[in-house]
């Protein structure tokens, strides 16, 4: 008899971008073979996630990310949805992968730079970004199917960039005025059922970590509102600090 998983495949789609954003992933990753300039869309994505994270942490990951839409909308139903290995969440691995990824990406940018000023530069740049999107689709997709939909997100270089941007925004005092966090209306009403942890895409544990201000301060929270929608006591919400 197969052991029932602790984690629940709950609905994570609460806006049109999350519902249909996966199409952009396929368009950029696959369509780039025929029209390389599609890859240039990634520049807008990078700018968007860095800017939003400065004000709202990893909000992009849980509400806008095209790959996140693919993982949660298309792959979640067929995923094993197992516990994410702690190895992928460890700081040494996250930092090491970020350095490896960025060094390799910079090497490719330098190679493409020789086309600067020519008609081919946009196609070359677009192809570079498109192939990177394809890599994430393949590697992230495989991890999503055989481990957990959000395995890639634990060490995603863009996620690391968001945390760096967020840390800067927090240090400057910007996020205190702009960031919404998972908030519990009354900790005494929490029955410690762990439902928020069971449905969390990142397998975080809000019910164990609420601050004195009744907010969940974990830097990896993607503000997707899955725990809000599934709390049996209906005492969770996404709010700014009071």
* Tens-place pLDDT, residues 17-54: 999 999 999 999 999 999 999 999 999 999 999 999 99
Q: CA nearest 53: which of 149, 205, 150, 170?
A: 170
**Dist. CA 237–CA 81, nearest whole Å:** 25
What confidence tier does 114 reach under pLDDT thresholds 50, 70, 90?
A: confident
What confidence tier does 2 reach under pLDDT thresholds 50, 70, 90?
A: very low
Q: What is the pLDDT of residue 241?
A: 85
Question: What share of the chain has pLDDT > 70, as a percent?
Answer: 98
Record the tokens describing residue 136, joined without a space.
Answer: 């994430």
Q: Which domains does the chain have, with CATH numbers?
A: 16-167 (no CATH), 178-240 (3.30.70.20)
Report CA torsion sign: 39, 40, 46, 52.
Answer: negative
- Helix ranges (H only) for 115-172 are 121-146, 157-171
DSSP assignment of 7-40: S-------SHHHHHTHHHHHHHHHHTTT-GGGGG
pLDDT at 1 over 90: no
């Amino acid at each position: 008899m197969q052991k029932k998983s602790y984690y629940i495949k709950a609905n994570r789609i609460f806006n049109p971008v999350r519902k249909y954003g996966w199409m952009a992933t396929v368009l950029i990753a696959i369509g780039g073979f025929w029209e390389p300039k599609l890859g240039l869309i990634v520049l807008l994505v990078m700018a968007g996630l860095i800017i939003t994270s400065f004000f709202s942490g990893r909000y992009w990951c849980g509400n806008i990310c095209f790959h996140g839409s693919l993982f949660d909308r298309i792959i979640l139903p067929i995923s094993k949805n197992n516990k994410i290995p702690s190895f992928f969440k460890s700081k040494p691995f996250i930092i090491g992968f970020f350095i490896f990824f960025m060094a390799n990406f910079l090497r490719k940018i330098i190679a493409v730079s020789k086309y600067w000023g020519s008609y081919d530069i946009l196609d070359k740049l677009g192809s570079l970004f498109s192939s990177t999107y394809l890599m994430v689709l393949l590697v992230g997709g495989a991890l999503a199917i055989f481990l957990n939909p959000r395995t890639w997100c634990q060490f995603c270089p863009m996620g690391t960039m968001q945390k760096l941007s967020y840390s800067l925004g927090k240090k400057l005092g910007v996020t205190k005025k702009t960031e919404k966090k998972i908030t519990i209306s009354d900790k005494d009403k929490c029955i410690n059922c762990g439902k928020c942890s069971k449905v969390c895409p990142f397998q975080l544990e809000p019910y164990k970590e609420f601050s004195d201000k009744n907010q969940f301060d974990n830097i990896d929270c993607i503000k997707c509102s899955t725990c809000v929608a599934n709390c049996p006591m209906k005492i969770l919400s996404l709010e700014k600090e009071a």
